Amino acid sequence: MPLRRFRRHMLISCLVALAPTYAVAQAAPAVDPAPADASIDARIRQQMAEGGIVGMAAAIILDGKVAWRAGYGHANREAGTPFTPQTVMNIASISKTVTGAAMMRAVEQGQLSLDADIQAALPFPLRNPHRPGQPITLRQLATHTSGITDRPAVYLRGYHFGRDAPQPLGAFLAGYFVPGGDDYSVGNFLDVAPGSHREYSNIGAALAGLAVEHATGQSLDAYTRQHFFAPLGMTRTRWFMADAPMDDHATLYVSQDGMPLPIEPYGLVTWPDGGLRTSVDDLSRFFIALLQGGEYAGTRVLSRESVREMLRLQFTTTHKPDNVDVAEKNSGLFWQTKFNTRYVGHGGGDPGVRTEMLATPALDTGVIVFTNTSGDDSVKAYVAILDALWAHAETLRAGTP
């Protein structure tokens, strides 16, 4: 079973015991923002009802502008709070694109190198014990070809329900990668040469975040606030629960046998890989900046060259990992193809979270969708909603002069 699916099943088995003791009742009728289009509204509401999805919001971006946005259902079903495009929730692995943008800014400032030995950008030594003579690079971390693997017994302990993670990022990573550390094992690495094999690694992404911190002398939190969130006007975006009241934050739900159960909010010790909290409206600004070569509404946050390299698909038929078919999968830098290369961008999945931030390969059309419900019951509905959003984007495109 793939790690992300294994992780989800393991966490769900624990979360039922953590669910708050709310009385289970039928959800009240949804209170939505002003609907923009009756047809897409009806399709989304039908799928939400069939899949037991409590709340969601979405946006469609055409040629660098938000062409449509809406929210449906509840951010908190028990309180009757509507889910809107301003509702904040953690977005899981879409967070990696923000870490990737921070990495690329440090590269363009000459503080990091994509292809140098990453050991120079870390406060501790890093070597794959199976290949100690071969360096690991940032490019390999960002394409998930570093040879680092997420050991489930360790990674699952990094979720902290009801609070931010108490252990600092650097302390956790040193314990994972340095021989003699609390979580060190040769099993933290694949027996492969760095760059030769692709395995998705959350801990590898967190390591890239630590490299940004070490190279810039700022926490990744402060660095992204200064260079991305503040300039782009992402006023509802933050990494940690402690940084703002949770009043604007969605309650998360895990569906069990058709029953969405609320769970406690949680923080991650490897927060650069999946801990960002934001809204559809805020993330739209960041996404547009990427789609428009590093600029949003006249504000530049990355050079065109940096964005071009981040979004460039790195694998070719003659230069690729041994387990990748480029007709089915390719990777930028914390950016990847989705749905058999039909789209590019990133998605996210964690307890109570399903998110997508996807674009056409031409980067002229984009879709963002957040849902605060996870579980096998909701998968079919979630995919149908995503299909409906892309169909609506085509309708909007056809109506554009």
What's the pLDDT at 400?
A: 56
The CA-atom distances, in angstroms, between 139 and each of 290, 332, 356, 364 are 18, 9, 23, 26
The neighbour count for residue 244, using CB atoms within 10 Å, is 15
Hey, what's the torsion of the CAs at 27, 42, 64, 138, to 10 degrees? 50
**Per residue in 178-212, is it b (16+ CB within 10 Å) or e — as a string?**
eeebebbeeebbbebebbbbbbebbbbbbbbbbbb
The pLDDT tens digits along the chain (401 residues) read: 444 443 444 454 444 334 433 332 233 323 333 344 678 999 999 999 999 999 999 999 999 999 999 999 999 999 999 999 999 999 999 999 999 999 999 999 999 999 999 999 999 999 999 999 999 999 999 999 999 999 999 999 999 999 999 999 999 999 999 999 999 999 999 999 999 999 999 999 999 999 999 999 999 999 999 999 999 999 999 999 999 888 899 999 998 887 899 999 999 999 999 999 999 999 999 999 999 999 999 999 999 999 999 999 999 999 999 999 999 999 999 999 999 899 999 999 999 999 999 999 999 999 999 999 999 889 999 999 999 999 999 999 998 54
What's the pLDDT at 226?
A: 98
Token pair for residue 141? 């971390």
- How far apart (Å, rounded) are the C-alpha atoms in residues 276 and 334? 15
Token pair for residue 293? 């070569």
- How far apart (Å, rounded) are the C-alpha atoms in residues 208 and 80? 40
What's the pLDDT at 6?
A: 39
* 45 closest CA partner among 71, 66, 82, 69: 71
Superfamily (CATH) of domain 3-398? DD-peptidase/beta-lactamase superfamily (3.40.710.10)
* pTM confidence score: 0.91
The neighbour count for residue 30, using CB atoms within 10 Å, is 18
